[in-house]
Structure 1
Amino acid sequence: MNKQVVVVGGGVIGLLTALNLAAKVERVVVCDQGEVGRESSWAGGGIVSPLYPWRYSPAVTALAHWSQAFYPQLGDRLFASTGVDPEVHVTGLYWLDLEDEAEALAWAVREQRPLTAVDISSAYDAVPGLGAGFTRAIFMAGVANVRNPRLVKSLKAALASLPNVELREHCQITGFAQQDGRISGVHTADGLLEADDVVLSAGAWSGDLLATLGLTLPVEPVKGQMILYKCAEDFLPSMVLAKGRYAIPRRDGHILIGSTLEHAGYDKTPTEQALESLKASAVELLPGLADATPVAHWAGLRPGSPEGVPYIGPVPGHAGLWLNCGHYRNGLVLAPASCQLFVDLLTGVEPIIDPTPYAPAGRLA
Structure 2
Amino acid sequence: MPDVIVVGGGVVGLLSAWLLGQEGARVTLLERGETGREASWAGGGIVSPLYPWRYSRAVANLAHWSQDFYPQLGQRLLADTGVDPEVHVTGLYWLDLEDQAEALEWARVNHRPLHEVDIDSVRAAVPALGEGFGRAVHMPDVANVRNPRLTRSLREALGAMPNVTLREGCEVDGFIESAGSILGVRTSQGDIRSESVVLAAGAWSGELLAKLGLELPVEPVKGQMILYKCDADFLSSMVLAKGRYAIPRRDGHILVGSTLEHAGFDKTPTDEALASLRASAEELLPALAGQQPIRHWAGLRPGSPEGIPFIGPVPGHSGLWLNTGHYRNGLVLAPASCRLLVDLMQGREAIIDPLPYAPEGRI
Q: TM-score range by the shorter chain?
A: over 0.9
1-side partners of 2:220 and 2:174: how far apart?
A: 19
Deviations 1:40-73 (A, max 9, x none): 0000000000000000000000000000000000
Secondary structure class of the residue paired with 2:162: coil
RMSD: 0.8
Correspondence list, 1:157-176, <5 A? 157-176=156-175
Deviations 1:148-169 (A, max 9, x none): 0000000000000001111111
How far residue 181 of structure 1 moved from its aligned partner, in angstroms, is 2.9
User: How many residue pairs align between the two structures?
Assistant: 363
How far residue 26 of structure 1 moved from its aligned partner, in angstroms, is 3.3
How far residue 293 of structure 1 moved from its aligned partner, in angstroms, is 1.0
Q: Which moved more, 1:281-290 or 1:174-183?
A: 174-183
Does 2:323 align with 1:318?
no
- For 1:183, the equivalent position in structure 2 comes to 182
How far residue 256 of structure 1 moved from its aligned partner, in angstroms, is 0.1
1-side partners of 2:216 and 2:179: how far apart?
A: 24
1-side partners of 2:22 and 2:268: how far apart?
A: 39
2-side partners of 1:199 and 1:189: how far apart?
A: 18
How far residue 180 of structure 1 moved from its aligned partner, in angstroms, is 4.0
- For 2:275, the equivalent position in structure 1 comes to 276
1-side partners of 2:228 and 2:304: how far apart?
A: 30
**Residue 3 of structure 1 contacts residue 25 of structure 1 at CA under 8 Å; is this kept in 2?**
no
Q: What percentage of residue pairs aligned between the two structures are identical?
A: 71
Correspondence list, 1:293-312, <5 A? 293-312=292-311
2-side partners of 1:189 and 1:256: how far apart?
A: 36
- For 2:121, the equivalent position in structure 1 comes to 122
2-side partners of 1:113 and 1:29: how far apart?
A: 38
Give the structure-2-normalised TM-score.
0.99
- For 1:223, the equivalent position in structure 2 comes to 222
1-side partners of 2:357 and 2:287: how far apart?
A: 43
- For 1:14, the equivalent position in structure 2 comes to 13
**Residue 184 of structure 1 contacts residue 197 of structure 1 at CA under 8 Å; is this kept in 2?**
yes
- For 1:256, the equivalent position in structure 2 comes to 255
Correspondence list, 1:89-108, <5 A? 89-108=88-107
- For 1:327, the equivalent position in structure 2 comes to 326
2-side partners of 1:179 and 1:219: how far apart?
A: 25
1-side partners of 2:14 and 2:215: how far apart?
A: 24
- For 2:54, the equivalent position in structure 1 comes to 55
How far residue 179 of structure 1 moved from its aligned partner, in angstroms, is 2.6
- For 2:210, the equivalent position in structure 1 comes to 211
Deviations 1:164-212 (A, max 9, x none): 1111111111100013430000000111100100000000000000000
- For 1:112, the equivalent position in structure 2 comes to 111
**Residue 60 of structure 1 contacts residue 309 of structure 1 at CA under 8 Å; is this kept in 2?**
yes
Query: Match for 1:255: what amino acid?
Result: I
**Residue 2 of structure 2 contacts residue 28 of structure 2 at CA under 8 Å; is this kept in 1?**
no
Secondary structure class of the residue paired with 1:223: strand
Unmatched segments (≥5 aa) in structure 2: none
- For 1:361, the equivalent position in structure 2 comes to 360
Query: Match for 1:16: what amino acid?
Result: L
Does 2:267 align with 1:265?
no
2-side partners of 1:233 and 1:41: how far apart?
A: 24
2-side partners of 1:142 and 1:135: how far apart?
A: 22
Q: Which moved more, 1:171-180 or 1:96-105?
A: 171-180
1-side partners of 2:219 and 2:25: how far apart?
A: 33
How far residue 133 of structure 1 moved from its aligned partner, in angstroms, is 0.7
2-side partners of 1:26 and 1:288: how far apart?
A: 51
Query: Match for 2:31: what amino acid?
Result: D
1-side partners of 2:35 and 2:22: how far apart?
A: 20
How far residue 3 of structure 1 moved from its aligned partner, in angstroms, is 6.1
Does 2:232 align with 1:233?
yes
Secondary structure class of the residue paired with 1:17: helix
- For 1:202, the equivalent position in structure 2 comes to 201
**Residue 14 of structure 1 contacts residue 201 of structure 1 at CA under 8 Å; is this kept in 2?**
yes
Query: Match for 1:160: what amino acid?
Result: G
**Residue 4 of structure 1 contacts residue 25 of structure 1 at CA under 8 Å; is this kept in 2?**
no
2-side partners of 1:305 and 1:291: how far apart?
A: 37
Deviations 1:53-109 (A, max 9, x none): 000000000000000000000000000000000000000000000000000000000
Does 2:35 align with 1:40?
no
Deviations 1:226-284 (A, max 9, x none): 00000000000000000000000000000000000000000000000000000000000
2-side partners of 1:11 and 1:70: how far apart?
A: 19
1-side partners of 2:191 and 2:211: how far apart?
A: 16
2-side partners of 1:253 and 1:197: how far apart?
A: 43
Give the structure-1-normalised TM-score.
0.99
Deviations 1:305-332 (A, max 9, x none): 0000000000000000000000000000
